[in-house]
Amino acid sequence: MDWHQINYFQKVASVQHITRAAEQLSISQPALSRSISKLEDELGVQLFDRKGRNIYLNRYGKIFLNRVEQSIKQIEIGKQEIWDEIHPDHGTISLSFLPSLGIHVVPDIISSFQKMHPNIKFQLTQASNRQIIEQLKSRKVDLALTSLLHEDKEVNCQALLTEELFLAVSFDHHLASWNALDLHMVKDEPFISFKDDNVLQTIINDLCKKAGFSPDVVFEGDDIGTVSGLVGAKLGVSLIPELHVLDRSKVKLIRVNNPVCKREIGIALLKDAYLSPVAERFIQYINRFFKNH
């Protein structure tokens, strides 16, 4: 059973005349008759009673027509829903992002974007880098704002901004009076790092390796807020970006001169995947946003 058969059946049921239905469908009468016969064979029952050149929908045909019309109505609704979702003026964008970007970066972008496009909706998800890549591959999200450390052949990434990473120490730490230092100066300090699914763990390990040591990790946190809280409790030091929510009465951020400590943040999307007009519009806006900030 294919879509043409369904359409042909609905037209014949409406007209109840093979010749007129064939003319309206712009197909030959024999082709239309074969299509209806094939449909009846597949269903195992006649849908029409035939009297001469006229045909009449029987009770089986009426049962089937009712379901056909419901199905066509649902398909039309589905088409309209898709058109609404991808419409560049009032569609929906599914966006995943790192939790640290949810403090001000993502809210700032969406707020300014919706001032220009108030009818566009967002479906937002916070996730780790690893989860974000999985969400893109499974097509659960259209776009993602994430760290660009991961390389994946299925994902396209475009750099947007560079975030400096600072050495975080408690306010009464013996290095708290310093404004800048080299990373090797904390080689003997206990480190607060991140769990495996957070790319900052990999960044910390790589930076410490460049400084000539392996960090002595005593705790691992899920997010930057937790890590900074552990640092403020005098349990170790860490490398984190500067965020407005950090308790600066307990944590001192110190610039690292050597090696340069940073992470690249960018927009990621699945290669060769369909991108709706509204998502393309948002990507263009994001690029302009970061060029102007």
Q: What is the DSSP string of 165-183?
A: EEEEEETTSTTTT-SEEEG
Q: What's CA 107's distance to the chain center, in Å?
A: 16
Predicted confidence at residue 286, as pLDDT, reads 95
Predicted confidence at residue 44, as pLDDT, reads 93
266 forms beta bridges with 146, 159
Kindly state the average pLDDT of the residues 12-28.
Answer: 89
SS3 92: strand
- For residues 232 and 272, which has the higher predicted lDDT (pLDDT)? 232
- pLDDT tens digits for range 110-125: 999 999 999 999 999 9
* Percentage of the chain exceeding pLDDT 70: 98
CA pair distance 110, 113, nearest whole angstrom: 5
SS3 89: coil
Lowest mean pLDDT among 5-14, 46-55, 228-237: 46-55
Kindly state the average pLDDT of the residues 197-204.
Answer: 90
Strand residues in the chain grouped as ranges (E): 48-51, 54-57, 92-97, 121-126, 143-147, 155-170, 180-182, 190-194, 216-221, 238-241, 251-258, 262-270
pLDDT band of residue 53 (cuts 50, 70, 90) is: low
